[in-house]
Homo-oligomer: A and B are copies of this chain.
Amino acid sequence: MTKRITLAAATAGHAEGGSSLNAFDNALLVAGIGNINLIKVSSIVPPDVTIIDLPKIRPGALIPTAYAAITSETPGETVAAAVGYALPDDPAKNGVIMEFHGVATQSEAERAIDAMLEEAFRVRGEAIREKKVFAAEHRVERIGCAVAAITLLAEEDLA
């Protein structure tokens, strides 16, 4: 048996770093997910998953995560990353996660996610019961990163 995803938690963060990868690492630390192993998924909320605030996750745990990230080495540039989920009226159906990153403001990123979630539900013929967007914006000093993520969790992943 594999671990069963029963929880999902979203977060976002931004930071500077000495390199692009350190900026990403630092942004993950700010977001509270810097000490786990992110496994990128594309990008569904399973049925019957409870959305919770980001919990303490076991260090090094392998966590399926839908995430968006952008790093920039252009001082003065504003970058943003966002993720959002929408859940259907029918609890037996899955929800959808959308990601965005770009040279953009946080509110532009949020609007992009919103439009993508609306289309995702329109094409599925489902009504949205609940929708939420999480975003971070970063104004680059030297090397910066913005990240936003939705983690998919099993009980055993919690610290």
Q: Using an 8 Å CB-CB cutoff, how does the interface string of A111-147 with B read, 1 for contact, 0 for none? A: 0100110011001100000000000000000000000
Say yes or no: A62 contacts B38, CB within 8 Å: no
B contact residues around A64 at 8 Å (CB) = 37, 39, 62
Q: A43 at interface (Cβ–Cβ under 8 A)?
A: yes
Say yes or no: B29 contacts A123, CB within 8 Å: yes
Q: Using an 8 Å CB-CB cutoff, how does the interface string of A11-33 with B read, 1 for contact, 0 for none? A: 00000011101101110010000
Known: A29-B124, A119-B17. A2 touches B2 (CB 8 A): yes
Say yes or no: A46 contacts B21, CB within 8 Å: no
Say yes or no: A59 contacts B46, CB within 8 Å: yes
Say yes or no: B59 contacts A93, CB within 8 Å: yes
Q: A3 at interface (Cβ–Cβ under 8 A)?
A: yes
Known: A26-B123, A29-B123, A44-B37. A19 touches B59 (CB 8 A): no
Q: Using an 8 Å CB-CB cutoff, how does the interface string of A34-53 with B read, 1 for contact, 0 for none? A: 01111111111111010000
Say yes or no: B22 contacts A119, CB within 8 Å: yes
Q: Whole-angstrom distance from the CB of A158 to the nearest CB of chain B?
A: 13
How many angstroms between the C-alpha atoms of A102 and B152 in the bound complex? 32
How many angstroms between the C-alpha atoms of A45 and B61 in the bound complex? 9
